[in-house]
Structure formats: C-alpha cells, structure tokens
Structure 1
Amino acid sequence: MADTIRVAVIGAGGRMGREVVKMVLQDENMTLAAAVSPSAGPVDAGSMVGVNPCGVTVSADLETALSDARADVLVDFTVPQAAYGNTKTAILHGVRPVIGTTGFTPEQIDELDKLCQERGLGGLIAPNFSIGAILMMQFAAQASKYFPHLEIIEYHGDQKLDAPSGTSIKTAELIAGVRRELRQGNPNEEETIEGARGGYYNGFRIHSVRLPGVFAQQEVIFGGFGQTLKIRHDSYERAGYMPGVAVAVKKVMTYTGLIYGFEHIMD
C-alpha cells in the first residue's frame, strides 16, 4: 500500500528488535523498510524473526540502510551508548525517531528536539511503551499528592545494564512534578552497609533488584498513618510492549518536535 508507514528497525536482531520487526510485518498500516543489526548477517528479516520471508535483507550499517530505504520512522531498542548517535543520524536523514532506549541527558534531548523542529519531524523517546506501566506511573504521581512518603522498587533481569531503570526514573520525575521535596525517614539514619537504603531522589528512595528469572516489574509503595498503598505493574513478555510501539510509530507522523515520555501521546 502506498500510504503505509515505512519503518526501519535498528537492533533488529535483539530480543526487543525482533518483536518490533514482527509487529511491523503484521500491521497493515506499516511496511518494513529496513532492518539493521551488525551481528545478524545478511539474512531475510522475516526469516530471522520466525515468520515468512519479507524481501528485506538485514543490513549492518544504519547510514546505508536509511539512505537506501526511504524510511518514515526509525524504531530503536539498542543500548544507551548507541541510541543518541542513532537518533541524530535518523533525524539528519529526515526519519522520525521512536526510541525505547534510556540514558539520554536533558541536554541531548533538547538538542534532538531542536533538530526535529528544524526539519519538521516528530520524534519520541520513551522509557517504557507498556500502556499498563504508563498508567502505573500516572497513578503513582496522583497518589503522591496525598501520600508524600513513598519508595520505588523496580525489578529486572540480572543482565540489565542500567540501574535504576528508565521507567523508575520517569516515575520519580512525574512524582517530583507534583510533590514538594520531602526528605523521608529518621534524620539520624545511618547506613551500616553502603547502598542499603537505595538511591536518593527528591527525598525518597529508588531500589533496583537484578535477578535471573525476572523480566520487568515495578511497584511504588506509599506509607501513611495506619495504612500503606502499593501500585504495581508486572510485564511478562516483550510482546506486551508492541501495542504501544505501534501507537508511537503512527503518532510521530502527526506532530513536530521530540517528545519525552509515552504518556504525552496517549489518547
């Protein structure tokens, strides 16, 4: 179809990248324009992800792929060290970035937003594409107005590179936006083992659990007089993120500028 969105996927050979390739191939409103994975080799992208061959050969180089593909959108689920460069490359090629990788600094986000504005492109950086996780974050921010004493505990597999997770940081930012800084706990508190109380953010703590067998969970625990409130979200497989990615790919075609946070494009 001539009016389908042409999507390039970088990190296509990774666990999230493979799910994105499958999602694009199965969505009638999208066409797979390119798949990039330096380690996958020149294989058919459909065959690589376990579906019918699609006629798109996996490329090793993003610049070459974008030059040849006429892509509208680039989806990136790679690593923090590569995501900034990939995003900038996409924008300079006139391709709208949809980024599920964390680790961007505020200065980098501002720079990329300006590039998008200059070129009339929409873009999105989202720490989490799970609609349930976004709701968890928004509910937690609302609850913090009434329960200002809280802690965040996030759980991921032991191979995750960053701690705390991008989702927990985004949750903390949303909470800090509606809650005055309140330093919790006993003012004379002392850690007898370094790090026992977790990372400090705006007066509360973030704890990162890393264990094999865990996929992705987060809970925000609120404490008040005689009661506690827990808001928790559990993800069990990567396919659960794909409805959100599909929404993002379609939405970035409709606005200009780089948005940080999936919650800003939810209807």
Structure 2
Amino acid sequence: MSHCYATQGHDSLNQYILHMADNSLVLGQRLCELCTHAPILEEETALMNTSLDLFGQARNWLDYAVARNPQLGDCDALAMGRDERHFLNLLLCEQGNGNFADTMARQYLFDVWHRLTLQALCLSQDSQIAAIAAKSIKEVDYHEQRSRNWVIRLGDGTQQSHDYMQSAINDLWSYSDELFVQGEDELQLVAQGIAANQADIEGQWRTTVSQTLIEATLTQPSPTDCFQKFGGKQGEHSEPFGLMLAEMQSLYRAHPGAVW
C-alpha cells in the first residue's frame, strides 16, 4: 500500500507530531541496540526499560498523526515504511551509542530538553497533545534523574571516567543548538498555543545542564570549540542513521503488512 509521506509537510501540526514521535522512536532504537552490551546487569534492565518507554511514547504520537490523517496508513507503516528523508528527529537522538559515557551524555542532554518540552506541551491548546505529554512526562522525569546521576557519577569519578564523560559532552555539544531551532510553521503553532516555545525552554535547559556539569566537575564547551550541526528536523540525517534505519525496518519491508 502506498502512503502519502511526501505530503506530510503540508500539515504543520502533523509534522510537529511526527517530530516528537521520531525523537522517541529513533533514540529508543539506539538504546535497544545496547541489549546485552550494558556494563552491569542493572543497567541492562534500565536501558531496555528506557527504550520501551520511548517506543511507547512514539506509538502514542504516531497514532495521533494517523488519526489526523488516515492516508498515512497506521503506526507501523509510519515507523517502518518511511524513508530517511521523511524522519524529522533531532540529530542528537540518532548519534551512535559509542561507549557508556557517550550513551549517558546523549541521554541526559536529550532528557532535559524532553522534560522541559513535555512540561510546556502539558498546557497545549491541543487536548490530545496535552494528554500524550502528561502521560509521557512521568517516565521522562525518571529518565532524566537516572542519566543525570550517571553524568555526575562518571564525571566526578576516576580520572578515566571523567575523561570519557568530558569527551562525550564535547562531541555531543555540536547538536545542542538544534534542540531550540523552530521554523516558521512551528512558530505559528507556538503562537496558537499548540507547540512548545523553544525560546523559553533554551534558557532553562542551559541553566539545568550547566549546573549538572559543574557538579560533575566537567567543563561546558564554549561556542567557539564546536561547530553546530542542524538539519534533522528537515529530514537531513547522518550516514549512520541510514544504516540504523535499514536494520530497524528490514523485517517490515521484507513482509509489509504482516501480523503475528
């Protein structure tokens, strides 16, 4: 069955919904790649639980997108049938797992943004968006607590763990500015009281992250130290993302529409 993915950009609200869905879907997929690779058994369980939480959130967003536009097919078709250019996730979410410090730094930087964005969306004039946000934020609060604890634990641990976490923060900082970029269509949704205003969220995010880095004895990268990267929300992704997507979608594309 053919679905109208190419026309999603004509519906700015659905594009925003897909952006929220794709953030959770892509990061959830990255985390599930770590199954059997966590450093300790407790973290194995925590990583997979976080992944499952994110998949559940993605499903809620995707179901709403389909409810608004049945031509998109269904939740599975949106997750598994879209090409790379039709994914609207932040670049931060698709970055590779790297070592454990890389994984937890990526998680923390996203978790703070995710919590603040969901807090704003709980007040959305769109009742379904508000409901999804209210349900999701309970899980995301825990995600942030856990990832923050690991940033501090590794940053203020041994010299080796400190160096690993500092390197992770340095590398991932290049994706931080994209968190707060909003195009004209999204700003119209902000004006209507539907979408979160990232101009308000940015200051809160930077303050929260800065306080955590200080507690972790880590140095916040300066603007001149890293080249900021953008494009995820416009469907412009990295080469590793395409490889991840191919693996994630392989079964669905081999047997489209199959159920079991």
Give TM-score, length-normalised by structure 1: 0.29
Higher Cα radius of gyration: 1
RCO (CA 8 Å, sep 6+): is it higher in 1 or 2?
2
Give TM-score, length-normalised by structure 2: 0.29
Q: Which has the higher strand share?
A: 1
Q: Which has the higher helix share?
A: 2
